[in-house]
Amino acid sequence: MNYLFNEKKDVELILSYNEEGSKDAEFFVELSRDLKGKIYMNLERTDDEALRRAFFALASKANELKVESLSLELGQLNPKAVFEGLRQSEYFFDHYLSEKKKRYLKEVSFLTDRNEEELKEAFEEVNKVLDGVFLARDLTNYAAIDLYPSTLAEKAKEELEPLGVKVDIYGQDEIEKLGMEAFLAVSYGSDKEPKLIVMTYKNSDKEPLALVGKGLTYDSGGYSIKPAEGMVTMHGDMAGAASVIGAIKAIAAAKLDTHVVGVVAATENLIDGSAYKTGDIIGSMSGKSIEVVNTDAEGRLTLADALYYTSTVIKPRYIIDAATLTGAMVVALGNLSAGAVYNDEDLVKELSKASSKMGESVWAMPSFDEYGEMNKSHFADIKNSGGRLGGGISAGMFLKEFVVDTPWVHVDIAGVSYEDSPRAYYPKGATGYLVKSLYQLVKDE
């Protein structure tokens, strides 16, 4: 879509305001195909999230009615929220469709007496962030037959290297030399080689900060097999990795003055004669032994080695990990908020604040040491599942055991990474959740 400033088009949108306000942030936009000239849209709320939803609804309706151009009076509304709502309407995953979806709305002109250069800068920033969001959605939406560890690694390289990001890809031999036994155990049931992907963006002499993403490109559950209907969307079990890659793309495109390292341990969790089994006791890069009581609790095993590697080799100022880790977090928070387990209260507050600015939500869960006791094993140093009660938290506390002397927040995005039907400006399928929050957290430093 082409965006212009102060170039009047045939259709003009005038905003009217309801001073009484409304609790409802959803807006239903009615456009008549026979209407010429001005369209009036009532905005009962003008907070950022309401604007995102309202202008997404407007652009979506315009596309539905085959409107090709709009002129909008911007007034004193937050331009970033308006731009985002309009741009969100452009996303549609049609990679596998023989007939591609046609976008009719091609041009929007903003009528304003505000500083055009500042507006253009705001528009460019929104574009760069949403490019990262849309990349994360695409990666998560790709079928597992197309996106597996090596192709995920190549896509990260393809997207990030042109922006000045160094992408190192390590195969099985290097992973074995690092002693990542927990990561490797998960990979043994697949004929696809696991990959450790390390992405470095350095535009500052600061010590690095680190983003770690769960990279299960397909999760069958292993011998603790999922029901058939539960496996249909399990190509999306790498949404955490996608969010990290998307966030680094946005950070690099915006040329933020920072130093960020992204780490993804990518593999599949499948079944064959070599696959790991319940009752196995496996090693890890940290030296801790792990009793496997559930092969469907595999993400925390790959993350255990990824987090230990990050905290001891990269040695960042802090770590945020993103993972579709547990169904328990979905039960707790549904599809409206991600849940966080942490070892640093200030860091989780900063992340929550950043997410609120960007229309996302990261909710801090209780992270008492007692939750970690659920993971105690009689036969090994730790077991990979603490049971159903408080399962989203105990899974996070398992990860905490592999973070060495580093402020850390684990974000479980299992409930928010994928929508079964469209909601607000989220399409059916992958949402790209957390890209915006991670970008804002880094920007706010």
All CATH 3.40.630.10 domain ranges of the chain, comma separated, are 128-443
Q: Are strands 418-419 and 429-430 parallel, antiparallel or unpaired?
A: antiparallel
Active site residue 137: no
E-strand spans in 338-386? 338-342, 362-364, 382-383
**Mean pLDDT, to the nearest integer, of 190-209?**
98
Environment class of residue 202 by beta-carbon count within 10 Å: exposed (0-12), middle (13-18) or buried (19+)?
middle
Who's near 216: CB < 8 A, 6+ residues apart?
A: 186, 234, 237, 238, 266, 267, 268, 269, 298, 299, 302, 324
Q: What is the pLDDT of residue 23?
A: 42
pLDDT > 70: percent of the chain: 92
The answer as to CATH 3.40.630.10 being correct for domain 128-443 is yes
Catalytically annotated residue among 9, 226, 315, 317: 226
* CATH T-level fold of 2-111: Leucine Aminopeptidase, subunit E; domain 1 (3.40.220)
CA dist 268 and 144 (Å) reads 9
CA dist 77 and 73 (Å) reads 9
Q: In which region does residue 111 sit, left (phi positive, over 0), alpha (psi from -120 to 50) or beta (all else)? A: beta
pLDDT tens for residues 104-155?
Answer: 888 888 888 899 999 999 999 999 999 999 999 999 999 999 999 999 999 9
CA distances from 73 to 8, 15, 147, 150 (A): 10, 7, 43, 47
Cα dihedral sign for 219, 221, 227, 230? negative
Catalytically annotated residue among 45, 87, 155, 300: 300
pLDDT tens for residues 60-103?
Answer: 988 888 888 888 888 889 999 999 999 999 999 999 999 988 88
Q: Residue 22: pLDDT band by 50, 70, 90 thresholds?
A: very low
In residues, how long is the chain? 445
Residue 35 has pLDDT above 70, yes or no: no
Q: What is the pLDDT of residue 42?
A: 67
All CATH 3.40.220.10 domain ranges of the chain, comma separated, are 2-111
Active site residue 226: yes
Contact assessment for residue 181 and residue 282, using Cβ atoms and an 8 Å cutoff: yes
